[in-house]
């Protein structure tokens, strides 16, 4: 008896969620298909019903994680600066740096993705562009190239701060880093003019 479309979709999502958790926790090289499928509670054959290989899965897992990740989207707020400040506060928080369930793929996989195949880097780059566009869309108080430049810089500071914060062995240092970046971004947002 063939499996339903819903069952197949559920299996695919389960594989993607387990894959992303494993990739962000132990890195691409340490994740085997057997480990992944054991973690997902599915058979090895189920993997190949959805993905041709681990690289294809990795690229899809980055996109999947980006859809689930909400640290940089505080929800609709009327005023752009307030929205941006809340996004910065959420993203540069201890909870986000120590996130295990659905961390930001941009910060959590940056080093690993840099040494992967072009298809994986393309998937990561698309998620990056989406975040820059989201932030750019909330910068109505700026115009032209200044708006685009600030959106790219803010995105880089967010991603870099979380990536660095994850690598530090001291919670105190991590907190100081996040606090410093938040305060600097808030001061900049308050001062920036068209």
Residue scoring higher pLDDT (7 or 31) = 31
Domains of the chain: 5-54 (1.10.10.60), 69-191 (1.10.357.10)
pLDDT digits (tens, 9 = 90+) for 88-107: 998 898 888 887 666 788 88
Residues sharing a CB contact under 8 Å with residue 117, sequence separation 6 or more, in sequence order: 55
For residue 1, pLDDT beyond 60: no
Per-residue pLDDT at 99: 72
Are 49 and 10 contacting, i.e. CB atoms less than 8 angstroms apart?
no
Q: What pTM, to 2 d.p., does this model score?
A: 0.85
Per-residue pLDDT at 76: 74
For residue 10, pLDDT beyond 70: yes
pLDDT digits (tens, 9 = 90+) for 64-88: 988 887 767 777 766 888 888 888 9
- Output DSSP code: residue 103: -
Per-residue pLDDT at 105: 87
| Residue 122 binned pLDDT confidence (cut-offs 50, 70, 90) | very high
Per-residue pLDDT at 2: 59
pLDDT digits (tens, 9 = 90+) for 154-167: 999 999 999 999 88
**HEC profile of 146-164:** HHHHHHHHHHHHHHHHHHH
Q: How many other CB atoms sit within 10 Å of the CB of residue 124?
A: 23
- H helical segments located in the chain: 5-26, 33-40, 44-50, 54-68, 80-91, 94-97, 105-108, 110-114, 118-137, 144-167, 171-191
3-state secondary structure of 69: coil
């Amino acid at each position: 008896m063939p499996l339903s479309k819903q069952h197949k979709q559920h299996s695919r999502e389960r594989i993607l969620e387990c894959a992303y958790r494993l990739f962000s926790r132990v890195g691409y090289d340490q994740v085997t298909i057997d480990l992944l499928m054991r973690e997902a509670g599915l058979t090895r054959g189920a993997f190949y019903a959805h993905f041709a290989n681990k690289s294809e899965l990795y690229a899809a897992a980055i996109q999947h994680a980006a859809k689930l990740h909400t640290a940089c989207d505080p929800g609709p707020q009327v005023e752009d600066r307030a929205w941006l400040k809340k996004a910065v506060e959420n993203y540069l928080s201890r909870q986000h740096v120590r996130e295990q369930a659905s961390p930001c793929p941009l910060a959590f996989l940056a080093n690993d993705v840099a040494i992967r195949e072009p298809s994986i880097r393309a998937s990561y780059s698309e998620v990056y562009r989406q975040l820059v566009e989201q932030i750019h869309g909330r910068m109505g108080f700026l115009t032209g190239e200044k708006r685009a430049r600030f959106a790219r810089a803010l995105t880089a500071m967010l991603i870099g701060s979380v990536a660095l914060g994850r690598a530090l062995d001291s919670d105190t240092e991590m907190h100081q880093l996040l606090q410093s970046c938040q305060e600097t971004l808030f001061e900049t947002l308050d001062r920036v003019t068209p």
